Amino acid sequence: MKPMKLGIAALGAAVTLIAGPLLVASLPSVAAEAGISVPTTAAEHTAEAAKYDKEASELDTKAKLHSDLAAQYMARSKRGGQQGAALRSLGNHCGRLAKDYRATAAEAREMAKSHREMAEAT
């Protein structure tokens, strides 16, 4: 590695080592200032689970919308030419969004499950 690149890499590592712990130490105060708190009671965990359930439902709705859009775009893309290619591109885009929304909804359901389990254990 060239001396200049090595020096920049060393400087980056040093900054990370020094600033990393400072950033982590300041996170609780940032969370407190933003009004964020970690659930500690069964009721708080239950409320958090409900929020994640609602989020999952909203994400499922978005996934369905984009899945339907993808199907419509792909059906219209059979024409060929520039318009067909543009419609396929839009269909692929909506298909990827639908897949991502479904995956995020599944994660939200997992978070809701975890909070319900923590509510029972509290």
Residues 108 and 30: their CA atoms lie apart, in Å, by: 24
Task: Report yes or no on whether pTM surpasses 0.75.
Answer: no
Cα radius of gyration rounded to whole Å, the chain: 23
pLDDT in tens, the chain (122 residues): 566 555 565 555 555 555 555 444 444 555 566 778 899 999 999 999 999 999 999 999 999 999 999 999 999 998 889 999 999 999 999 999 999 999 999 999 999 999 999 999 98
**Sequence-distant (≥ 6) Cβ neighbours of residue 67 within 8 angstroms:** 94, 95, 98
**Sequence-distant (≥ 6) Cβ neighbours of residue 93 within 8 angstroms:** 70
